Each structure stands twice: as structure tokens, then as C-alpha cells.
């Protein structure tokens, strides 16, 4: 294995493990901060000491999670400079803008008001304290907004122009960053955090029911968490539908990988239950699935909101084949043509640089014209074969189904919990139901992480869609540096996770031994 390939693979692994650990903390921060704000609002309205105690209990758990999330997030941003310096140079003027706003505005808001939230009891007025709690929750969501805008731009690069003199992209339309992909990604991620926090609150509260301590507190918390989580899950599904439409429009290869689809059709079915054929390649005649139970026209409805729409498969996209609304086969830009255009763009950029050094304005103008005509496929010029542009189909396919199956389960979970907590005493009387709720908590994190795996693995091999692949994004560093830091970070993050879980459990256990209701 070459040094470059080693650096790319280990840098991706390092970034992946950092992002995975970071996302363990972020969704709980996003949702639990709002739940705490809701509980404090109820306390301020009712003046009930029970709601004050509930607010302070969940606030402590929020604070533990918030602190660890900040630590992992800072490391994640540093990795752009240490491991991905070519990427940072290529798009720094654009990608850096939302991250800078996130640090200056959102993180400043969070860090300021979280101090008032935790230490302002009896030091500021109740209304100001409540405002600080809501502003902390708002700051967390605004922080997520700018990070997700930056991530969405990598998946759908808009609002910029390539400057050959600087050899980098520069922003020319800030507001274009708020594309359909960015808007859907933001709401989908934040609202999924609401659902995760609802499951967390229900699971922890069921521990109180199991221990038969602070039962009134547990029931109030379950009702709050279940309503909040149900709203989050329904809205997550709605924004997920919007995301599917955007992916179909701008990242058709990702959608094809999510479905394991190689040859699409009009009125394309959706594989509800399927097993991929490991021998299937885009250019052979093997069947796509070893086993399949399909939903007729499901993928066309999901991707186009049209049951008769054509959804291209991997082979269709590579060959540049599409079908219009009238059913006529039309040609798009094949991957072989994209690779040729990418190489032409890169050659034109080199020629432009040489002409600039010699002061040949005519050659500069000619090269610049060629560069602009072919720049949209600039990144394909790094590939030697169309096979390098295909994402990991198996992993994307499986993670998509893990996300959908668990998401469907949790929708039913919230409905069942609400029924049991309002209409029956099953939740209070049966420990096996309480255990189901508690065991469900980690599976909500699996669902959340699977969603991110679909988004990030499905867009490979790109760092910036169509413009910059991962192989051209890494820093010029020795493989040993990346390997050592990977294992170092893995150890540190695991220690932080164990520490957080341990502290969380101690706080929860402490809550069973004091009066909360």
C-alpha cells in the first residue's frame, strides 16, 4: 500500500472515529437543552417545586453531556488543518465562514448563557434565568446550523467560484449556502436530537419506576419526553423525506448506493427487505439482490414524489443514461466523459499557471475558458477508473435500512409509551416494559449514527462533491503520524465516553435516593 493511500485511509478513519464519538453527545445536547427549557417554563408558570426539582435534575445530565461534547468538537475542527490541509486550502474561504460564525456567535452564546443557566439560580431574576436556559438551547441549535451548512456545502457546493490565481475556491454568494440540502440537513439532524432526547428521558425515568422511587417525577418526565420525542420523530421523518428529494436531485449516486440499485426503471420499486448480491458489479449481469421484498414504485415516490418517475441506478449514472418524463432515453454526462473533462480542467489550470508566469495573456485567456467549461467535473480528473467514483454500496445500503427500521420502531415506541402512561398502568406495573424502554436508549444512538453513516459514506469518494476527492484532500504528513494519533484519539475518546457514562449513572442513581417529587 502506498504512503498516500495509507494517509488517506487512516485520516478518514481518524476523522470518522472523532465524528462518531462527537455525535454521541451532540444530539442529546440539542434535545435535552430544549426539554430542560420546557420544564423550567412550566415551573415558572406553576411555581411548583416538583417542576423545579425536575428541571435541575435533567439540567445536571445536560451539563455533563455538554462538557464532553465541546471537547470532542474542538478536536474535530482541528483535524481539518492537521490531516486535511489540501482540502482546507481548496475551500477554506467558503468552508471556514460558517465555522467562524459558529465559533463567534453560537458558541459564544452557549458558553455565556450556560454559565447563567447553571450558576444563576438565586442570583438573577427567574425570568432572566429562564431566558438564559432558552438561549442556551437556541445557541446549541444555531451552532448545529452553521456546522451543518458547512457540511451540506461539501455535499452540494454552491455560491462560489474557482480563482485560478489563488488556486482555490472563493465565495461569491453567501446566501446560496442555505440550499435545500442544507435546510433539510439542519432540521433533520436537530429534530432527530429531539427524538433521541425523548427516548433518553423515558429510559432514565423508567429506571426510577423500576426502583420504585420518585414515581411522580418519573411519570411527569416520561410524559414530557414522550410528547417531545414523538414531535421530534414525526418531524424527523418529514425532513428525511425532503432530504431524499434533495439527494435524488443532487447526489443520485448516493441514492443508488442507499438502495443497492444498479439499473433503474420508471416506477422504481423500493427494497423493503433485501440481501445484496456480493458478486454484483456495475458492469456485470449478476442480479442486484439474493433476496428481495419490494414496495412497488416506492423509490420513485421517495425520490421524486412521482410514482412513475425514473430513478437511475449506479450503472445508469456511470453510463450517462437517463429517462425523461415522456419515457424517452436521454444521454447525460457519463463518468468516462467526466474523468476526461476533469483532466482537461486540471491541464488547463496548469497551462494557466505557466502562461501567467511568462505573461502570455492570450494563453491565459484560452486556458481560463477551458477551465471554466470543464470545472464542474474537476475532481474526476484525479480518477484512473470510473470504479473509483462508486461509494461503498454494501455499507450505505445496510446503514440506510438500520436507520429506517429503528426510526420506525421509535415512532411506535413513543405512541405506545404515551398510551401506557395516560390510559393504562402497564408502564408502572410491569418491569419488563420498563426494561424495554431502558434497553431502547442505546438503539436510538445506533439509529442516529446510522443516519450520519448514510450521509457521509454515501457521498464517497468525495470531500467536496465532484470537485475534490479524499485522495487529493489530505495533508503531506507521514503515515505513522496519522496512525499514532488515530489510536491516541481512540483511547482518549473512549476514556471520555466511559467517564461521561459513569458520571451520568452516578447522577441518575443519586436521583433515586433524593426527593424529586
pLDDT tens sequence across 165-182 = 888 889 888 999 899 999
Phi-psi region of 202 (alpha: psi -120 to 50; beta: other; left: phi over 0): alpha
Give the count of domains, the chain. Answer: 3
331, 358, 376 — which closes off a domain? 331
Please state the length of the chain.
Answer: 517
Domain boundary among the residues 284, 314, 331 is at 331
8 A C-beta contact, residue 263 and residue 463: no
Residue 278 lies in a domain: yes
Alpha-carbon span 437 to 302, nearest angstrom: 31
Question: Which domain-ending residue is among 371, 386, 401?
Answer: 386
Q: Has residue 240 been placed in a domain?
A: yes
Same domain, 7 and 92: yes
Do 448 and 361 lie in one domain? The reply is: no
Please report whether residue 149 resides in a domain.
Answer: yes
Same domain, 10 and 141: yes
Q: Does any domain span residue 466?
A: yes
Task: Note whether residue 516 is domain-resident.
Answer: no
Q: Are residues 416 and 459 in the same domain?
A: yes
Range of the domain at 359: 335-386
Tell whether 112 and 203 lie within a shared domain.
yes
Residue that the C-alpha cell 438500520 belongs to: 402
pLDDT per residue over 338-367, tens digit each? 999 999 999 999 999 999 988 888 888 999
Are 117 and 11 in the same domain?
yes
Same domain, 344 and 317: no
What pLDDT does 245 receive?
Answer: 93
Which portions of the chain are predicted below pLDDT 70?
Answer: 1, 3-4, 325-329, 517
Both 242 and 225 in a single domain? yes
**CB proximity list for 210: less than 8 A, separation 6 or greater:** 431, 434, 435, 438
Q: Are residues 158 and 210 in the same domain?
A: yes
Same domain, 56 and 175: yes
Residues 204 and 287 in one domain: no
For residue 190, being part of any structural domain is answered with yes
Distances (CA, A) of 465 to 63, 254, 422: 37, 11, 49
On whether both 232 and 341 belong to a single domain, the answer is no
Q: Is position 301 within any domain? A: yes
| Partner residues linked to 330 by β-bridges | 322
Cell numbers at 505, concatenated = 449513572
Asked whether residue 517 is domain-assigned, the answer is: no
Amino acid at each position: 500500500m502506498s504512503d498516500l493511500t495509507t494517509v488517506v485511509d487512516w485520516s478518514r478513519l481518524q476523522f470518522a472515529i472523532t465524528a462518531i464519538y462527537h455525535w454521541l453527545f451532540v444530539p442529546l445536547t440539542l434535545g435535552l437543552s430544549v426539554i430542560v427549557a420546557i420544564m423550567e417554563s412550566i415551573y415558572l408558570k406553576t411555581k411548583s417545586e416538583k417542576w423545579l426539582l425536575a428541571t435541575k435534575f435533567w439540567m445536571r445530565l445536560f451539563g455533563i453531556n455538554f462538557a464532553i461534547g465541546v471537547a470532542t468538537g474542538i478536536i474535530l475542527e482541528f483535524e481539518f488543518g492537521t490531516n486535511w490541509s489540501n482540502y482546507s486550502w481548496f475551500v477554506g474561504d467558503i468552508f471556514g465562514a460558517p465555522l467562524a460564525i459558529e465559533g463567534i456567535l453560537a458558541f459564544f452564546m452557549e458558553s455565556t448563557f450556560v454559565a447563567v443557566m447553571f450558576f444563576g439560580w438565586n442570583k438573577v431574576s427567574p425570568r432572566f434565568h429562564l431566558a438564559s436556559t432558552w438561549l442556551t438551547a437556541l445557541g446549541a441549535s444555531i451552532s448545529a446550523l452553521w456546522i451543518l451548512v458547512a457540511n451540506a456545502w461539501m455535499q452540494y457546493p454552491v455560491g462560489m467560484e474557482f480563482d485560478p490565481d489563488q488556486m482555490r475556491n472563493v465565495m461569491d454568494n453567501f446566501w446560496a449556502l442555505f440550499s435545500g440540502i442544507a435546510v433539510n440537513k439542519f432540521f433533520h439532524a436537530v429534530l432527530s436530537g429531539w427524538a433521541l432526547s425523548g427516548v433518553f428521558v423515558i429510559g432514565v425515568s423508567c429506571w426510577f419506576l423500576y426502583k420504585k422511587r420518585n414515581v411522580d417525577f418519573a411519570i411527569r418526565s416520561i410524559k414530557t419526553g414522550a410528547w417531545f420525542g414523538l414531535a421530534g420523530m414525526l418531524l424527523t421523518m418529514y425532513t428525511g423525506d425532503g432530504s431524499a428529494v434533495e439527494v435524488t436531485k443532487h447526489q443520485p449516486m448516493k441514492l443508488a448506493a442507499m438502495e443497492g440499485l444498479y439499473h433503474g426503471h420508471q416506477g422504481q420499486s423500493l427494497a423493503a427487505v433485501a440481501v445484496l448480491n456480493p458478486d454484483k458489479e456495475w458492469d456485470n449481469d449478476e442480479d442486484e439482490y439474493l433476496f428481495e421484498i419490494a414496495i412497488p414504485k416506492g423509490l420513485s415516490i421517495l425520490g421524486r414524489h412521482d410514482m412513475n418517475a425514473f430513478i437511475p441506478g449506479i450503472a445508469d449514472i456511470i453510463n450517462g443514461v437517463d429517462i425523461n418524463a415522456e419515457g424517452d432515453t436521454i444521454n447525460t454526462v457519463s463518468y468516462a466523459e467526466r474523468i476526461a473533462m476533469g483532466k482537461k480542467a486540471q491541464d488547463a489550470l496548469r497551462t494557466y499557471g505557466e502562461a501567467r508566469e511568462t505573461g502570455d495573456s492570450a494563453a491565459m485567456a484560452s486556458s481560463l475558458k477551458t477551465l471554466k467549461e470543464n470545472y464542474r467535473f474537476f475532481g474526476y480528473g484525479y480518477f484512473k477508473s470510473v470504479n473509483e467514483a462508486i461509494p461503498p454500496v454494501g455499507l450505505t445500503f445496510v446503514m440506510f435500512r438500520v436507520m429506517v427500521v429503528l426510526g420506525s420502531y421509535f415512532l411506535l415506541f413513543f405512541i405506545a409509551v404515551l398510551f401506557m402512561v395516560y390510559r393504562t398502568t402497564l408502564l408502572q406495573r410491569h418491569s419488563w416494559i420498563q426494561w424495554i424502554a431502558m434497553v431502547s436508549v442505546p438503539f436510538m444512538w445506533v439509529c442516529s449514527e446510522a443516519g450520519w453513516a448514510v450521509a457521509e459514506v454515501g457521498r464517497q469518494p468525495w470531500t467536496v462533491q465532484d470537485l475534490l476527492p479524499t485522495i487529493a484532500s489530505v495533508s503531506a504528513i507521514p503515515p505513522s503520524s496519522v496512525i499514532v494519533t488515530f489510536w491516541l484519539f481512540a483511547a482518549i475518546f473512549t476514556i471520555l465516553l466511559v467517564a461521561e457514562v459513569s458520571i451520568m449513572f452516578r447522577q441518575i442513581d443519586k436521583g433515586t435516593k433524593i426527593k424529586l417529587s
